[in-house]
Amino acid sequence: MINFKLNGKMVQLDVASEMPLLWALRDGAGLTGTKFGCGIGECGACTVTVEGASTRSCQIAVGDVEGLEVTTIEGLAENTADNNSNDEDGQTSLHPVQQAWIEEQVPQCGYCQSGMIMAVADLLNQNPTPSDDDIDAAISNICRCGTYPRVKKAIKKLSGQVSS
């Protein structure tokens, strides 16, 4: 049994400790927002945060997160201190990065976007006003659709460096 905090709640998964966190999340916890892309930690489709830091979940064993806090795309808004309230329709508010993604029409196919959003949320948490070089260094996620200009625009908008 592996115990860790997942999206703000303690969980216990009956999986092998050497299983990649990606598969423990998808198959063990039933959270399919984290995607399998390459399996070698290059594409970033599987990005989650572990203790607040972007982590490629295909490259870390679930046993390595024993007792730690893991956040997936499903828990991103819920784990944002100022987004814990519901909107007028009773829905959980989106995380600011998720909202910016919608406003800037970032996704095309969308497959890589959950990992990209998690990486951007981590970047902005660490560096609220990143330069282009900071963005390029921190966001190494691969998008087959080539939405990088829209990703960068959304990041710049969130950091107050560009207006709508």
> Dihedral sign, CA of 6, 74, 141, 43?
positive
Residues 58, 85, single domain; the answer is no
Task: Supply the pTM of this predicted model.
Answer: 0.90
Residue 60 inside a domain? The answer is yes
* pLDDT tens-digit series, residues 60-108: 999 999 999 999 999 998 766 554 445 555 566 899 999 999 999 999 8
* pLDDT tens-digit series, residues 3-47: 999 999 999 999 999 999 999 999 999 999 999 999 999 999 999
Domain boundary among 45, 75, 105: 75
SS3 percent helix, strand, coil of the chain, rounded to 5, is 35, 15, 50
The pLDDT, as a whole number, for residue 87 is 54
Record the tokens describing residue 134, joined without a space: 């900071």
Residues 35, 86, single domain; the answer is no
**How many whole angstroms separate alpha carbon 54 and alpha carbon 124?**
11
Residues 71, 104, single domain; the answer is no
CATH (domain of 119): 1.10.150.120
Residues 119, 149, single domain; the answer is yes
Residue 133 inside a domain? The answer is yes
Residue 35 inside a domain? The answer is yes
* pLDDT tens-digit series, residues 114-149: 999 999 999 999 999 999 999 999 999 999 999 999
Residue 163 inside a domain? The answer is no
**How many whole angstroms separate alpha carbon 164 and alpha carbon 156?**
10
pLDDT band of residue 161 (cuts 50, 70, 90) is confident
Number of domains in the chain: 2
Residue 29 inside a domain? The answer is yes
pLDDT over threshold 80, residue 160: yes
- Residue 91 is classified by DSSP as P
Residues 146, 96, single domain; the answer is yes
Residue 114 inside a domain? The answer is yes
Residue 94 inside a domain? The answer is yes
Range of the domain at 152: 81-158
